[in-house]
Amino acid sequence: MKKFALTAFALLGFAAAATAPVQAEDVIRFGLAAEPYPPFSTKDSAGNWVGWEVDLRDAVCAELKAKCTWVEVAWDGIIPALQEKKFDVIWSSMSITDERKKVIDFTDKYYTSAAVWVGAKSDTRTFDPAKPSSMDGVLVAAQSATTHASFMQKYFNGHAELKLYDTLDNETADLKAGRVDLLMAGAIQIADWLKSPDGADYEIKVKLPHDQLFGHGDGAGLRKEDAELKNKLNGAIAAVRASGQYKQITDKYFDFDIYE
């Protein structure tokens, strides 16, 4: 049994390594989907990335005393780009799923968003996720290469007709144009649109029950071999939460808890 034992000094050393700052000269490249995803990440009039996820990354990098840069990439190619070492970390509202964990690793979650179906207030039909037949002939929009698309394909194939989009903006545009009946999105991500003039005639029809496909919250994706970087990021995320910075950042964008 001795070979499995750790001394107190070794344990302390490991804990320190998990939260130790990276070296000042190190640069961490964060991969971000190039498509706007308000209020998490979008570009301002000067072309700079802004939003909740941008602010959180900046706080994490400050905690690590690291220089951090953005690398923009198309969402549907973001995991291959990580594996090809075009950047070091996926920081782009990626759900931590068992399927994705087969090929990449993740930090601890940094927020959670329930999945919802959104449709016109004037649409009085009943959409029941427990009764796939209630979705017969319904046109549903979802973003490609997402857990939402996988959910629709698994449970409603042969019932609802799924239309895939590259961005949430294009989903909402087709919903307004009447080209789809429902769109599927994260409750947090669609909240601002529903409060806007564009979304005034639409509402959440169904908050979908949690499913294994939706994963275990959203976190940062890393290559499996980058355990040291994962430990440092986990330590920094925990420190930002413990210091109150996480709440300060969240309160700028939301009036509810997005972690649980």
Containing domain of residue 120, as a range? 115-214
Does the structure show a pLDDT above 80 at 96? yes
DSSP 63-118: HHT-EEEEEEE-GGGHHHHHHTTS-SEEEEEEE--TTGGGT-EEEEEEE---EEEE
CATH number at residue 69: 3.40.190.10
Residue 156: predicted pLDDT: 98
Residue 260 in any domain: the answer is no
Does the structure show a pLDDT above 70 at 8? no
Residue 2: predicted pLDDT: 34
37: phi then psi, degrees, rounded to nearest 5: -145, 65
Same domain (yes/no): 64, 122: no
Mean pLDDT of 42-46: 96
Q: Which of 115, 114, 113, 117 is nearest to 135 (CA)?
A: 117
Does the structure show a pLDDT above 60 at 142? yes
Same domain (yes/no): 53, 139: no
Same domain (yes/no): 125, 206: yes
Residue 25 in any domain: the answer is yes
Residue 256: predicted pLDDT: 83
Q: What is the pLDDT of residues 154-203, one digit of tens each?
A: 999 999 999 999 999 999 999 999 999 999 999 999 998 999 999 999 99
Based on the structure, what is the number of domains in the chain?
Answer: 2
249: phi then psi, degrees, rounded to nearest 5: -65, -45
Residue 206: predicted pLDDT: 97
Which has the minimum average pLDDT: 126-130, 169-173, 202-206, 256-260? 256-260
Residue 25: predicted pLDDT: 55
Residue with tokens 């990580």: 82
